[in-house]
């Protein structure tokens, strides 16, 4: 009942002239290339909905149980469903950083799911991190959204999340290169030596000045969620948002293809 | 207490000694205590949140009398617990008050960073600040999230240079423990926590080195019906699901963190104006800082 779909590295935007002057990334991708996404819908047959989403070597398995009756009546909300998220790290016990991730996924899903259709119920979302090689927050959010879709729970839109990193290459030769004009030009002199990398791996995240995770709505292409940590100019954040919108379109095309394949597969089996 | 529908369509709630009508005019026979008025308003907002929110959209005044982009007053005090802590501060944003104390310890550095000291953050949310924290679970959930946030801002956003905390490389470093006590919660708890942690750290004079801090300000904005609301108070925080938390550097205006969790989708221009609104908080902070420096 489960299906895997893979694709070659996706290049959502034509490479900008600035990114060509960067040293190559450890996995030979361009600055604006996503790792090949992999998606498996319904790998767990006991859960109401489940999905495994992976980008390169970052992989998350999400399961959704619900809408179900809550165990404690104090958790009931008359206006709509309550969403509970648990994130299990790939090794060790859950710490406060897992709590932060749970809060972020919960906020995203509470906004996306039509909660008012399921009053007095609880929707449990459990995410297990299988592998972590950068961009974990985005992978978690995408896996959780896919699992909710697989469970057949109504959503207002599909949130598509991408992660990015802002790096500043330490070599002096970078600054000697003539700065080429880009479509979103930044006037501050320091920003000419900082670059935006799409879908960073662990190594790149550790060396970055800032990491940004942006969730875009599939319906109106506006920003649903944004977490940026690290110093940057506001203009760089808006540049990152534009890049995220492009990447979200590519992800959406991939998800649509996956879900259509999956439903065709199911109807064939019947 | 009685409740009936008014002929103009507002629901009227009549409590013991005063009447609240749909357009926020409170007429009172005896002046009730401040707590009673707030309780009544919070009852009204819970009882009829749709009217409360639509009043927000139509009128230009928020529940506490501010305009949409008006921020709450900021009050900062440093060095108030001189005997027991190395550095301390009290930050007040409107009615939200957070007390910070920094204590010092000498310890061994981590293996992968022999020249860097450590900063640990602990947040205490007492039932004193808000009744919802009377259960340990609610306390722990929110305090862990706050600890994480404050620690990320302090470490990731160049607030304190950890190299400054080194005594002997590889052997001894300073370990600073920032202890945040929330005394009163009226929204924007994270902002007050970061500000007070920052000031407490700036107040610290290490016997060997001086901790230099780059100052950051944090502000929580709300977004409802295409309107940006600056600096949410608690009642608004509970009602408005779309919230933006932005931290900017005081001197350079660089963005340290922008967190938007949940709520409706926002177009880039709204995000832009939200970041621009931080300028007002920066000015407040710099003003306060100059006042403190004049006094000392």
- How much is the ipTM here? 0.73
- Decide if B138 touches A, using CB distance below 8 A: no
Give the Cα-Cα-Cα angle A81, A87, A88 (nearest 5 degrees): 145
Does residue B45 sit in the same domain as residue B167? Answer: no
At A257, the pLDDT band (50, 70, 90 cuts) reads very high
- Looking at B34, B61, B88, the residue that finishes a domain is B61
Mutate to test the interface with A, among B260, B269, B277 (most CBs of A within 10 A): B260
Residue B222 · residue B66 · CB < 8 Å: no
pLDDT band with cut points at 50, 70 and 90 for residue B87 = confident
Q: Of B257, B258, B248, give the one whose Cα is nearest residue B286.
A: B248
State the SS3 of chain B. CEEEECCCCCEEEECCCEEECCCCCEEECCCCCHHHHHHHHHHHHHHCHHHHHHHHHHCCCCCCCCCCCCCCCEEEEECCCCCCCCEEEEEEECCEEEEEEEEEEEECCCCCCCCCCEEEEEEEECCCCCHHHHCHHHHHHHHHHHHHHHHHHHHHCCCECHHHHEEECCCEEEEEEEEEEEEECCCCHHHHHHHHHHHHHHHCECCCCECCECCEEEEEEEEECCEEECCCCHHHHHHCCCEEEEEEECCCCCEEEEEEECCCCECHHHHHHHHHHHHHHHHHHHHHHHHHHHHC
B55 and B109 in a common domain: no
Contact state of A108 with B144 under an 8 Å Cβ cutoff: no
Q: What is the pLDDT of residues A97-152, one digit of tens each?
A: 888 899 999 999 999 999 999 999 999 999 999 999 989 999 999 999 999 999 99
Q: Which one of B147, B157, B253 has the shortest CB-CB distance to A96?
A: B147
Query: What's B110's domain CATH number?
Result: 3.30.230.70
Contact (Cβ atoms closer than 8 angstroms) between residue B155 and residue B162? yes
Q: Which residue has the tokens 């959502």?
A: A12
A158 touching chain B per CB within 8 A? no
What is the band of B21 on the pLDDT scale with cuts at 50, 70, 90? very low
Distance CA A58, CA B285 (A): 41
Residue tagged 């996706």 (tokens): A10
**Nearest neighbour of B257 by CB, restricted to A110, A222, A229:** A229
* CA closest to A158 among chain B residues: B265
Q: Is pLDDT at A46 greater than 90 in this prediction?
A: yes
A228 → closest Cβ in B258, B263, B266: B258
Q: Residue A214: pLDDT above 90? A: yes
Question: Same domain for B118 and B5?
Answer: no
Task: Assess whether pLDDT exceeds 60 at residue B230.
Answer: yes
Interchain contact B152–A (C-beta under 8 A): yes
Q: What integer pLDDT is reported at residue A150 of this predicted model?
A: 94
pLDDT digits (tens, 9 = 90+) for A65-89: 989 999 888 778 888 999 999 999 9
For chain B, what is the domain count? Answer: 2
Domain span holding position B24: 1-61
A8 pLDDT band (50/70/90 cuts)? low
Q: What domains does chain A contain, in order, with CATH numbers?
A: 37-170+194-269 (3.30.230.70)
User: Which residue in B144, B156, B249 is closest to A229 by CB distance?
Assistant: B156
Q: CA nearest A216 in B: which residue?
A: B265
Higher pLDDT, B261 or B33: B261
> Is the pLDDT score of B265 beyond 70?
yes
Gap between the Cα atoms of A34 and A26, Å rounded: 13
B93 and B146 fall within a common domain:
yes
Q: What is the pLDDT of residue A10?
A: 58
What average pLDDT score do residues B171-196 get?
89
Overall average pLDDT of the A20-39 stretch: 82
pLDDT band at A52 (very low <50, low <70, confident <90, very high): very high
Cβ-based neighbours of B62, under 8 Å, separated by 6 or more: B56, B68, B229, B233, B236
Average pLDDT, integer, range A168-191: 41
For residues A59-97, b (16+ Cβ closer than 10 Å) or e, as one string? bbbbbbbbbeebeeeeeeeeebbbbbbebbbeeeeeebe
Rounded to the nearest angstrom, the gap between the alpha carbon of residue A79 and the centroid of all alpha carbons in its chain is: 29
Burial degree of B210 (CB within 10 A; 0-12, 13-18, 19+): exposed
A207 touches chain B (CB under 8 A): no
B161 shares a domain with B286? yes
- Angstrom distance (rounded) from CA B6 to CA A270: 59
Q: Are residues B173 and B196 in the same domain?
A: yes
Q: How far is CA B18 from the centre of its chain?
A: 32
CB interface of A with B, residues 108-147, below 8 Å: 108, 110-111
The number of angstroms, rounded, from the C-alpha of B266 to the middle of its chain's C-alpha atoms is 22
- Can you tell me the distance from the alpha carbon of B217 to that of A144, in angstroms, rounded to the nearest whole number? 33
State pLDDT tens for residues B22-66. 444 444 444 455 566 666 666 666 677 677 677 666 666 677 777
**Chain A hits for B253, Cβ within 8 Å:** 234
Average pLDDT, chain B: 77
User: Does B257 map to a domain?
Assistant: yes
Percentage of chain A modeled with pLDDT above 90: 56
* Nearest neighbour of A237 by CB, restricted to B241, B255, B264: B255
Residue B69 maps to a domain? no
Unique residue bearing structure tokens 């009685």: B2
* Cα separation of the two ends of chain B: 54
Residue B18 has a pLDDT of 37
* pLDDT at A165 (0 to 100): 92
Do the chains contact at B261 and A107, CB–CB below 8 Å? Answer: yes
Residue A190 — very low, low, confident or very high, per pLDDT cuts 50/70/90?
Answer: very low
As a whole number, mean pLDDT of residues A254-266 equals 91
Average pLDDT over residues B155-165: 79
What does the pLDDT read at residue A2? Answer: 46
Residues B284 and B147 in one domain: yes
**B97 and B175 inside one domain:** yes
**Packed helices A136-150 and A96-112: angle between N→C axes, nearest 10 degrees:** 40
pTM score > 0.80 for this model?
A: no
Share of chain A above pLDDT 70, in %: 83
pLDDT number for residue B16: 37
Q: Are B201 and B263 contained in the same domain?
A: yes
Asked if B41 and B131 sit in the same domain, the reply is no
Mean pLDDT along residues B123-152? 86
Q: What is the pLDDT of residue A115?
A: 93
pLDDT, position B33: 56
Cβ atoms A114, A154 nearer than 8 A: yes
The reply to whether B17 falls in a domain is yes
Cβ neighbours of B263 (radius 10 Å) = 20
Same-domain status, B87 and B45? no
Q: CA B219, A104, B137 angle in degrees (round to 5)?
A: 90
When pLDDT is cut at 50, 70 and 90, the band that residue B213 belongs to is low
pLDDT for res B9 = 37
B145 and B263 together in one domain: yes
**Measured between alpha carbons, how far is A144 from A154 in angstroms, rounded to an integer?**
14
Confidence (pLDDT) at A51? 96
Give the model's confidence band at B131: pLDDT under 50 very low, under 70 low, under 90 confident, else very high.
confident
Mean of per-residue pLDDT scores for chain A: 83
Distance from the A215 Cα atom to the nearest Cα atom in chain B, whole angstroms: 9
Is B84 inside a domain boundary?
yes
Rounded Cα distance, A89 and A79, in Å? 32
Q: Determine the pLDDT at residue A93.
A: 92
The token pair at B207 is: 């016997």
Q: Mark which of B27, B61, B95 sits at the end of a domain.
A: B61
Assess contact for A135 and A163: CB atoms under 8 A.
yes
Q: What is the pLDDT of residue A81?
A: 93
Report CB contact under 8 Å: A157, B253.
Answer: no
Q: Which of A79, A44, A80 is nearest to A65 (CA)?
A: A44
Flag whether B191 is in a domain.
Answer: yes
Residues of A in contact with B258 (CB under 8 A): 226-228, 237
Domain presence at residue B66: no
Q: Which of B141, B156, B271 sits opposite A223 (nearest CB)?
A: B271
Instruction: Indicate yes or no: CB of A231 within 8 angstroms of CB of B249.
Output: yes
Is B265 part of the contact surface with chain A (CB cutoff 8 Å)? yes
Half-sphere exposure of A29 (CA within 13 A, CB side): 20
- Examine residue B243 and state whether it is found in any structural domain, yes or no: yes
**For position B253, what pLDDT does the model report?**
78
**Is pLDDT of A95 > 90?**
no
């Amino acid at each position: 009942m489960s299906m895997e779909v893979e694709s070659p590295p996706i290049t959502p935007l034509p490479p900008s002239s600035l990114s060509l002057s960067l040293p190559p990334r450890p996995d030979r991708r361009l600055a604006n290339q996503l790792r090949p996404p992999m998606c498996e819908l319904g790998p767990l047959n006991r859960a109401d909905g489940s999905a495994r989403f992976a980008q390169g070597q970052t992989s998350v398995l999400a399961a959704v149980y619900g809408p179900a009756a809550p165990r404690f009546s104090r958790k009931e909300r008359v206006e709509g469903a309550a969403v509970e998220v648990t994130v299990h790290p790939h090794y060790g016990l859950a710490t406060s950083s897992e709590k932060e991730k749970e809060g972020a996924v919960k906020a995203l899903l509470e906004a996306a799911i039509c909660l008012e259709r399921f009053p007095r119920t609880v929707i449990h979302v459990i995410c297990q991190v299988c592998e972590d090689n950068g961009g974990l927050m985005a992978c978690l959010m995408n896996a959780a959204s896919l699992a909710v879709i697989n469970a057949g729970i109504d959503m207002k839109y599909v949130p598509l999340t991408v992660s990015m990193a802002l790096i500043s290459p330490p070599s002096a030769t970078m600054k000697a290169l003539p700065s080429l004009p880009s479509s979103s030009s930044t006037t501050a002199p320091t920003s000419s030596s900082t670059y935006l990398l799409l879908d960073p791996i662990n190594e790149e995240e550790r060396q970055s000045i800032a990491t940004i995770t942006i969730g875009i709505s599939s319906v109106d292409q506006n920003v649903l969620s944004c977490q940026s940590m690290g110093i940057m100019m506001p203009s760089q954040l808006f540049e990152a948002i534009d890049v995220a919108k492009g990447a979200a379109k590519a992800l959406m095309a991939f998800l649509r293809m996956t879900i259509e394949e999956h439903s065709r597969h199911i109807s064939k089996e019947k | 207490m009685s409740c009936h529908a008014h002929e103009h369509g507002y629901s009227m709630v009549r409590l013991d000694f005063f009447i609240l009508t749909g357009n926020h005019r409170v007429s009172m026979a005896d002046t009730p205590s401040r707590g009673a008025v707030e309780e009544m308003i919070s009852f009204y907002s819970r009882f009829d949140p749709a009217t409360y929110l639509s009043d927000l959209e139509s009128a230009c005044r928020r529940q506490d009398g501010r305009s949409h982009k008006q921020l709450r007053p900021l009050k900062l005090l440093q060095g108030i617990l001189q005997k027991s802590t190395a550095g301390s501060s009290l930050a007040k944003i409107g009615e939200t008050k957070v007390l910070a104390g920094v204590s010092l310890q000498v310890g061994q550095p981590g293996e992968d960073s022999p020249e860097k000291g450590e900063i640990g953050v602990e947040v205490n949310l007492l039932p004193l600040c808000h009744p919802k924290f009377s259960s340990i679970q609610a306390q722990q959930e929110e305090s862990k999230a706050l600890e994480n946030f404050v620690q990320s801002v302090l470490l990731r956003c160049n607030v304190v240079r950890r190299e400054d905390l080194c005594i002997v490389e590889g052997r001894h470093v300073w370990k600073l423990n920032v202890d945040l006590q929330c005394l009163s919660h009226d929204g924007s708890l994270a902002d007050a926590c970061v500000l007070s942690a920052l000031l407490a750290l700036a107040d610290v004079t290490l016997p060997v080195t001086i901790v230099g801090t780059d100052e950051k300000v944090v502000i929580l904005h709300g977004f409802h019906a295409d309107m940006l609301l600056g600096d949410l108070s608690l009642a608004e925080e509970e009602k408005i699901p779309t919230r933006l938390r932005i931290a900017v550097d005081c001197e350079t205006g660089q963005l340290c963190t922008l967190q938007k969790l949940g709520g409706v989708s926002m177009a880039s221009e709204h995000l832009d104006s939200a970041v621009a609104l931080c300028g007002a908080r920066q000015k407040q902070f710099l003003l306060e800082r100059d006042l403190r420096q004049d006094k000392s």
